[in-house]
Chain A
Amino acid sequence: MQAHPVINDFVVRFANVNGTGSASANNMFAKAIFRMGIPVTPKNIFPSNIQGLPTWYEVRVCEKGYLGRREGIDIMVCVNAQTMKNDIAMLPSGSYFIYDSTKALHREHMREDLHYLGIPLTAITQREYSDPRQRLLFKNIIYIGAMTALIQLDMDILKKIIVEQFQGKEKLIAPNHQALELGNRYARDHFECPLRFRLEPRDLLGDKILFEGNAACALGAIYGGATVAAWYPITPSTSVVDAFGEYAEQFRIDRETGKNHYAILQAEDELAALGVVIGAMWNGARAFTATSGPGLSLMQEFLGLAYFAEVPAVLIDVQRAGPSTGMPTRTQQSDLLSAAYASHGDTKHVLLFPSTPAECFDMTRMAFDLAEQLQTPVMVMSDLDLGMNDHLSEPLQIKAETKFHRGKVLTAQQLENIERFGRYFDIDGDGICYRTLPGTHPTRGMYFTRGSSKDEYASYTERADAYRRNMDRLAKKWETIKTYVPPPETYQPNNCSRDGMAFFGTSCHSAIEARDELNNAGLTLDVLRIRAFPFHAEVVDFMDAHDRIFIVEQNRDGQMRSLLINELGIDPQRLVSILNYDGLPITAQNILQQVLTSAGHQAVTSASMPGVSS
């Protein structure tokens, strides 16, 4: 039993019932590990439900700094009788099972290869607290308290977090602290502490932050100058607008008048939400909407209008598992094709792929500049994993004297010097034309915005040559866009293999971990993180420089691979899909095994990686 201790490298999974206050306790657990200076990755695996259904919270601790999800659970804290049977069945041999031992475990739940640690959570709370609500909530705090003894989670840090959390409700601090102590004492009195899996403080995090992507997008919208947010509630994007509202209350209320420098409109549906955004940006205000797959489907019509009429718009798509209603509370990267080519006719749209909260912030800010400069919709393609989970991230940064890039918008003075304004003339040869805002000049610069075919003066036309000229100019603009979008991130100074691996968004952490493991297994891969669509020239170079490229993505059909083949004309044989589409964040083990299988390296097993159960 007493194998070598495992320091700062394990997975803890909490099995709870939705709506019992477990989320805040579990968040506190992750935050405390973060404050101990140890890289940590929490993932909330929750139901599409408000109260009563099972929910899990999985925390990976990894001293090496790998932030992807890892398979295999080392410690399970199970306070949900509904799921106990499965929770036990899924545990690898040798792991710990912590449970509420107020009632004895049924014989069928006993496995000889597990360590059972029973804490009578219900009995303790019955004894110590009289308020029924507190009895429920403090069960969670007690098991967190037990962790201070079991895995050496820092008690002082936990207590400080509680003090911070209950500012203004100081009465609650003492009973919470007491609950932590109860858990600690019970564990010390009844178990041999610490366990094999344990924490040791480190100083590995520098100035990093622990933040969720949705709130980071919201802050990006604040710092990007958004004044209009229009939306329709949909999981998992709702917290983007919620957070925008909170930050706006903090930063966007005129101190003198008490009036708002922003407007948030909850629309009747996603169609209207995007309509409001388009109307506002047509009229010169920065506006955005946040949505998910089903909403994006409804927005197709308006995306076509904005593309063809060349009206800026910013969308944040927090992707979830589709198709249709799919799994609303599970993650996926499966809206790529419907976003990239949204709407009927020949359309293409600009997509940005953030992979960390800091990048959610940067890319949302950038989206407003790009949308206005390029006069077209820009979509920030986040996902549920990034949006709704806390992630270790670089801090948020902006430059001093940040200026908005409003693009080619003519002022009244500029209009004075133009003999006859034509909205759709390609004056600069980059496919991007000059626009005017309503109300700018009493007699100049007026034009009629329309989703129908038009000539350079924005007049309706069915002339074949004029239609084609316009479509060709839009294609030229698409080429220009490639020079505006962020280049990919390369991880090696020089390419050193004929094999490459490309990924984007939240697959990056597991992909990097898999790259390192593959390297250990003797398969060297150059890697690239794609950050935007259309593809930057550096993406093309990378594809050209490798014979075989593994494309890692979290959908069934290899949508990024399709985009690469379609846009760059790459021989499909050269692009190998590495896919994950079960709704859970992709793991390094999964990538590793798929790459090895397809590379014919099956002999190399996953022995070097912990927790692989296959």
Chain B
Amino acid sequence: MSFIKPNFRHPGLLPNALGFLPSDYEGLLSTLCAGCGHDSIGAAIIQACFELNIEPHRLAKLSGIGCSSKTPAYFLGNSHGFNSVHGRMPSVATGANLANRDLIYLGVSGDGDTASIGMGQFVHLVRRNLNMTYIVMNNGCYGLTKGQDSATADKGSKSKSGNVNVFQNIDLAGLAIELGAGFVARSFSGDKTQLVPLIQAALSHPGFALIDVISPCVTFNNNPGSTKSYDYVRQHIDATATVDFVPPAEAIEVNYADGEELDVTMHDGSQLRMKKLHPGWNPYQKDAAVRALHEASATGEVLTGLIYVNEVQEDLHAMLNTCDKPLNQLTERELLPTIQSLEAINASLR
């Protein structure tokens, strides 16, 4: 880790449409190990939010426990944050979102936090289609407790101490598709070009959006034999497509030859403009998306990019038929039945 965060910013940096500078989206100095993939993801989040012109105070960031869950302190310092308990961020995010549907919710978790201790809450979060972006900083190990395998570690992957993982891995992207998530992507912390537009698209998606980001642990899981090391991922990365995010104002209709390039239009009019790289993959078809994941996994490849998208599902508020005004802004006038109503109840109990 570094000990000083320099105040210097390039004088040529221009503010975004709201007048915020990139520094307005930064956080405290990271205390993670130098070279940690998580810091790259944090930088991608900062860039994505800056470019999307998000008012920092309109976003709430939530996390669980672990290296990954510490990172919300290191980005979006002008946003409220909630570092909750291990594996329980989904329920806290659910409550927060129920209380105020107008904010943007960004959840940050890790592979232990999501795929082990938090698996119960994660799967139910997906099936409720809570409107939030959920980023898993996936390094296949428990960093804070010195490198034990996590449930996303691939079978056969070797840890720093030389142990070979004998258990099946849990594929969070495949699981999320199975559970009905409307936006599922996978990326790599070392591929900011791909990650930033994916985060932007996820934030624009009107329901639950998962981005499983392979994020190597430089200290405990970056050794030969590990399938979550920088070297391994760089050598085995296989993208579904190249991705560009086009904000709504700039979106233009372009027709691409079928099967080669495609635009995914988000509900707000923005687009993910992609050049397809993986044959047979189709982000609108569940079975094709899952098949692409399986094929990649069978050959030891890491399939990244947008995997699956379905923009037409109801989110939790729609399912619960809650009012448009955020629940936390309702007052006595809207919430309190009259004294006469209470008298009528008393009368009915006599």
Task: Write the residues of chain A forming the contact surface with B, with a CB cutoff of 8 angstroms.
Answer: 34-35, 207-211, 219, 222-223, 225, 227-228, 230, 250-252, 254, 257-265, 267-269, 271-285, 287, 301-302, 305, 395-398, 400, 402-404, 436-443, 446-452, 459-460
Contacts and interface: CB of A to CB of B under 8 A. Distances in A.
Interface in B90-135: 90-100, 102-103, 120-121, 124, 128
The interface centre, meaning the residue of A35, A275, A441 with most chain B CB atoms within 10 A of its CB, is A275
Given A263-B317, A438-B103, 16 more contacts: A35-B350, A208-B350, A209-B346, A210-B350, A225-B336, A230-B94, A261-B323, A279-B97, A279-B98, A280-B98, A280-B327, A397-B342, A437-B80, A437-B328, A446-B80, A450-B83
Contacts of B91: 230, 267, 271-276, 279
A450 to B, nearest CB: 4
A258 B350 CA distance: 31
B83 A449 contact: yes
B276 interface: no
B330 A227 contact: yes
B78 interface: yes
Nearest to A225: B335
5 contacts: A260-B322, A261-B322, A267-B124, A272-B91, A442-B57
Interface in B61-98: 62, 72-73, 77-85, 88, 90-98
B151 to A, nearest CB: 18
Contacts of A263: 98, 317, 320, 322, 327
Contacts of B62: 279
B13 interface: no
B255 interface: no
A225 B323 contact: no
- What 8 pairs across the A-B complex have the smallest Cβ distances? A279-B95, A275-B91, A285-B99, A280-B95, A438-B80, A284-B328, A283-B99, A279-B92
A400 B317 CA distance: 32
Contacts of B323: 254, 257, 259-261
Contacts of A250: 337
Contact of A223 (B97, B128, B342, B349): B342
Nearest to B78: A446
B83 A452 contact: yes
Interface string B324-350: 101110101011110101100110011
A443 B55 CA distance: 9
Contacts of A402: 332, 336
The interface centre, meaning the residue of A261, A269, A273, A438 with most chain B CB atoms within 10 A of its CB, is A438
Contacts of A443: 57, 78
B118 to A, nearest CB: 10
Contacts of A449: 80-83
A460 B73 contact: yes
B60 interface: yes
A283 B96 contact: yes
B83 A285 contact: no
Given A280-B98, A397-B342, A222 B337 contact: yes
A449 B124 CA distance: 24
B236 interface: no
B321 interface: yes
Contacts of A459: 28
A458 to B, nearest CB: 9
Nearest to B69: A450
A279 B94 contact: yes
Interface string B132-168: 0000000000000000000000000000000000000
B234 interface: no
B327 A223 contact: no
B267 interface: no
A398 B338 CA distance: 9
B103 A439 contact: yes
A282 B332 contact: no
A272 B88 contact: yes
Contacts of A210: 349-350
A275 B322 contact: no
B100 to A, nearest CB: 5
B40 to A, nearest CB: 21
Contact of A446 (B79, B92, B100, B320): B79
Contacts of B337: 222-223, 250-251
A223 to B, nearest CB: 6
The interface centre, meaning the residue of B324, B328, B332 with most chain A CB atoms within 10 A of its CB, is B328
Contact of A439 (B57, B83, B120): B57
Nearest to B57: A442
A317 B56 CA distance: 38
B66 to A, nearest CB: 12
Contacts of A442: 55-57
A447 B80 contact: yes
A268 B124 CA distance: 7
A448 B98 contact: no
A530 B345 CA distance: 28
A276 B350 contact: no
A230 B93 CA distance: 13
Nearest to A258: B321
A276 B201 CA distance: 26
Contacts of B72: 448
Given A279-B99, A280-B99, A439-B100, A268 B120 contact: yes
B335 A276 contact: no
